Amino acid sequence: MELKEHQNPSTTSTPLKHQHPLSWYVKWAASLVLIVAMIMTTNNLYPYNMYLQFVGVSGWLWVSIMWNDRSLIVVNAVACAIFLNGIFQYLLKG
């Protein structure tokens, strides 16, 4: 990849806030939800951590579909399926 003299090689290739404002807010909200869910996991707050993780990866799935980023779509779709499976297993046992 050739960089022009004025280009910064460390700039992001993801859409910026002014380009896709809704996806920008959703990705940050989903990221914060996932961080809280990880904290809940380390504190063994089961099954609430799964619910939050599902919300977080669902948000990221929605954003990845808006961005048409196939790798993020695959990762987050699989994560949604895994968390749904865990949630259903928990509900069926309870």
Mean pLDDT of 8-25: 68
In degrees, rounded to 5, the angle at the alpha carbon of residue 73 between the alpha carbons of residues 68 and 77 is 150
User: CB under 8 Å to 31, separation ≥6 — which residues?
Assistant: 56, 60
What is the pLDDT, as a whole number, of residue 16? Answer: 63
Q: What is the distance between the alpha carbons of residues 36 and 72, in angstroms, rounded to a whole number? A: 21
Give yes or no for a contact between 92 and 86, defined as CB atoms under 8 angstroms apart: no
Confidence tier at 31 by pLDDT (50, 70, 90): very high
- Give the global pTM: 0.80
By C-alpha distance, which of 25, 62, 58, 56 is closest to 41?
Answer: 56
What is the pLDDT, as a whole number, of residue 70? Answer: 96
| 23: pLDDT strictly greater than 60 | yes
| 80: pLDDT strictly greater than 90 | yes
Give the pLDDT confidence of 46-70 residue by residue, as tens digits: 999 999 999 999 999 999 999 999 9
What is the pLDDT, as a whole number, of residue 18? Answer: 66
Q: Which two tokens stand for residue 17?
A: 């806030």
